[in-house]
Amino acid sequence: MAVSEEERKRALLILERLERAYPDARVELNYSSAFELLVATILAAQCTDAKVNQVTAELFKKYRTPEDYVKAPVEELEDAIRPTGFFRNKAKALKGCCQKLIEEFGGQLPDTVEALASLPGVGRKTASIVLGNAMGKQTIAVDTHVKRVAQRLGFTSSNKPEQIEKDLKELFPEDKWTRATNLLVFHGRYTCKARKPNCLECVVYDLCPWPEKP
């Protein structure tokens, strides 16, 4: 969609207010490397960040490299990640991801969304989260929070994650993409919730065109 100067100004004003409201906005998964964030993000599917952090506190002591995951007996890995749910699929994804990481990328994480998203268990959203938060790239990661908030704020009219990503990239300057993602996630998680948004406490209430707001 063509973005007007007016729309860009409104979007930046919204970002400024969200920055003041959530100065500590960040990925709430614990990690000490890009590889650890990749593993944690795979485990976070259909699971809370808090539960993933409980699991990875022990997991990351035992499995430190892609080779460690590939060599681990599948039953042992499944047992280690069981509390995150869908543990069989996730163990398979982790093993496949690490195998391809070793075979095609020498065990190092590639630095583009497309290459990272080519790994088993890693979609465009996961790749963008890792690149944006642990590898210094500017990315827009469209999760359920970003999608909902972007739609309600009139940043996009699409339901498709890739189109929403494009719309947001057109709206915000590139040097703000990762920060915008984290701010939109926090706003969606703590204020603009799916079922009961706290509209009357919202710092961007007057800038929000959502027709269902009180």
Residues with a catalytic annotation lie at 125, 143
The whole-angstrom separation of Cα 206 and Cα 114 is 38
Contact 11, 154 (CB under 8 A): no
Positions of E strands within the chain: none
Residue 155, token pair as written in the block:
């940043």
Q: What backbone phi and psi angles, to 5 degrees, belong to 125?
A: -60, -50
The whole-angstrom separation of Cα 164 and Cα 81 is 32
DSSP string covering 103-117, please? HHHTTSPPSSHHHHH
Contact 102, 119 (CB under 8 A): no
What does the buried/exposed string (b/e) look like for 17-37 if buried means 16 or more CB atoms within 10 Å of the residue's CB? bbeebbeebebbbbbeebbbb
The whole-angstrom separation of Cα 186 and Cα 168 is 16
Q: What backbone phi and psi angles, to 5 degrees, belong to 33?
A: -155, 165
